[in-house]
Amino acid sequence: MLGCDQFGGSRYPHGVTRFRVALAQINPVVGNMGANADLILTSVADAADLDAQLVVFPELALNGYPIEDLALRPSFQEQSRIAMAGLATRIKEAGHGDLVCLIGYLDYLDQHQENLGSPRGGAVNAVAVVHSGAVQARYVKHHLPNYGVFDEARYFIPGTEPLIINVDGVTVCIAVCEDLWQNGGPVEWARESRADVLAVLNASPYERNKDDVRLDLCSRRAKESGAALIYVNLVGGQDELVFDGDSLVVDSAGALVARAPQFESGVMVVDVPVLQRGGVGSLEFQTRECAPEPALVPGVAVQLSDEAEVYGALTVGLRDYVEKNGFSSVILGLSGGIDSALVAAIAVDALGADRVFGVSMPSRYSSEHSIADAHDIAQRTGLNIRDLPIAPMFDAYLSSMDLHGLAEENLQARIRGTSLMAISNQEGHLVLATGNKSELAVGYSTIYGDAVGGFAPIKDVPKTLVWALSQWRNAVALAEGATPPIPPNSISKPPSAELRPDQMDSDSLPDYALLDELIESYVDRDLSPRELVAAGFETSIVERVITLIDRAEYKRRQYPPGTKISLKAFGRDRRLPITNGWREPIQPQ
């Protein structure tokens, strides 16, 4: 259970009723409706054990989110409807038929007319109202997001009708995710119908600082509608996205009542204070004759620091990518640098040291301290490490091919990438790419070299944040009396790819603090070159960095998926044409 310690003697002011609701913050697997139904059934039982009257699940809880083009497959649509009906029956057979359940799932319109531009099959993002062993009613998501990582206008038909139900005399208006972010629709329907509760089912992906935005939004919408607001969110990783949970309840005045932890699965049971304003629902359900006893004292989870939050997202994103895709272990190149050290620490925290394999692949240009640092992180974390010197392979290539300059430098990265993939094929490990967002932005990732792999844990982490996360992780270990996982030398030494003698990143790139600020402004915030210069960046640096970013799009398309943590990650968030002749001038024409 999440944040639901029991205490007796709690009383509400006159005219306020206690309505016991369970918020099921679960981690489904996209497409695995059987396993997801089992997960939902277990959560219903947990809610029933604490006498909940209503249990609310996240958006598309039965199917997982996002389901992308699965939503357009008629066979998937039909199986989803069958699975929901079967789940309703199982809930009753388990002895919980009197509990009202709001469960997100994929459904379709029976009388859908196929039109050009309309999603195939009439798929809808729906909420099933389950009671007494059957789906008693269905709500269809009203507002469909079509920005950032969302493509819902491609997949779903929008709903047009409200669904307001009555549970033990409490009027509940139902909404789904984007319905809360847009004006009109369910928020307005809740106000007009004098609903006591606005129940919102969500699949809201994590990004930095979004938890504060969510709370502010819920508080504002509760005050606008005059209803207590229940916000239930998914938890867990799905490809590039990670969902952080952070489910919460606010009262009709917008004050926080309860909040679940981030990145943890479980059921939070809350006594929601409701005013019972006399609203009328289209369906009435009776679960019990009086309020459950004893009263619950609501809990508010301690909010994570920025570094803890990001690190948690990266850990969950990697863990679920590995687990949900059936990999048993991961492998990565350990250079002794900060990027591979942080990825190794995340992997060990996500999977355990026995499932993480590192390879030190020194070349003729590798320094002794880099080799020592690679072994140091293995000793600190307990991960498996082996040495594979690449100098003989490098020399063999050069004896057959006349390579020099950049081609010779990149050859080292490609030998390392090929070696990791060979070990992966032989032993079954998932290869982790260790590049960061700063490198990926400017194209400092070698195709078929350090860009190889099945997953890139820090793909959306700027270099400056890599350092901050590494320092934070070591500080946490020291505070717990444990060995800091990341070698101090990996943090303190100047960054270098060691592709030639005495090479440093600063030879060809601006200082990372400046570079990351420029990348954030241009990529995340879409500032124009002219605006960047006006903001104080030097014209020559703007021209050079933006040219690097624009020309590297073809490289980014070939990079592995990785966990999104920023407002705009490369991939699902930012989709630009590879063949692109647009170059915005810095000076007015």
Bridge partners of residue 262, in order along the sequence: 245
Question: Do the beta carbons of residue 240 and residue 572 sit within 8 Å?
Answer: yes
Task: Determine the Cα–Cα distance for residues 234 and 63; give it in Å rounded to an integer.
Answer: 12
Q: What is the end-to-end Cα distance of the chain in Å, rounded?
A: 62
Closest CA to 139 of 33, 42, 57, 213: 57
Question: Do the beta carbons of residue 103 and residue 61 sit within 8 Å?
Answer: yes
Closest CA to 172 of 125, 258, 230, 106: 230
In 325-457, which ranges are E strands? 330-333, 356-360, 384-387, 430-431
Q: What are phi and psi of 297, to 5 degrees?
A: -90, 120
Task: Determine the Cα–Cα distance for residues 496 and 514; give it in Å rounded to an integer.
Answer: 17
141 catalytic? Reply is yes
Task: Determine the Cα–Cα distance for residues 273 and 12; give it in Å rounded to an integer.
Answer: 7
Closest CA to 415 of 376, 366, 362, 369: 362
Burial of 298 (0-12, 13-18, 19+ CB in 10 A): buried
List 101, 173, 177, 218, catalytic entry: 177
Task: Determine the Cα–Cα distance for residues 427 and 560; give it in Å rounded to an integer.
Answer: 20
DSSP-derived letter for residue 460 is: T
Task: Determine the Cα–Cα distance for residues 229 and 255; give it in Å rounded to an integer.
Answer: 10
What is the CB neighbour count within 10 angstroms for residue 154? 15
Question: What is the tally of helices (H) and strands (E) in the chain?
Answer: 18, 19
- Residue 562, amino acid: G
Residue 406: CB partners within 8 Å, gap ≥ 6?
none
What is the SS3 string spanning 485-498?
Answer: CCCHHHHHCCCCCC
Max alpha carbon distance in the chain (Å)? 88
Q: Collapsing DSSP states into helix, strand and coil, what is residue 131?
A: strand
List 59, 207, 498, 517, catalytic entry: 59
Q: What are phi and psi of 150, to 5 degrees?
A: -100, 140
59 catalytic? Reply is yes
Question: Do the beta carbons of residue 519 and residue 441 sit within 8 Å?
Answer: yes
Looking up tokens 């204070």 gives 273
Task: Determine the Cα–Cα distance for residues 485 and 379; give it in Å rounded to an integer.
Answer: 9
Residue 371: CB partners within 8 Å, gap ≥ 6?
336, 360, 362
Closest CA to 101 of 111, 110, 92: 92
177 catalytic? Reply is yes
Q: Collapsing DSSP states into helix, strand and coil, what is residue 252?
A: coil
Q: Collapsing DSSP states into helix, strand and coil, what is residue 139?
A: strand
Closest CA to 60 of 94, 37, 91, 88: 37
Q: What are phi and psi of 296, to 5 degrees?
A: -100, 135
Bridge partners of residue 342, in order along the sequence: none
List 4, 101, 141, 520, catalytic entry: 141
Residues carrying an active site annotation: 59, 141, 177
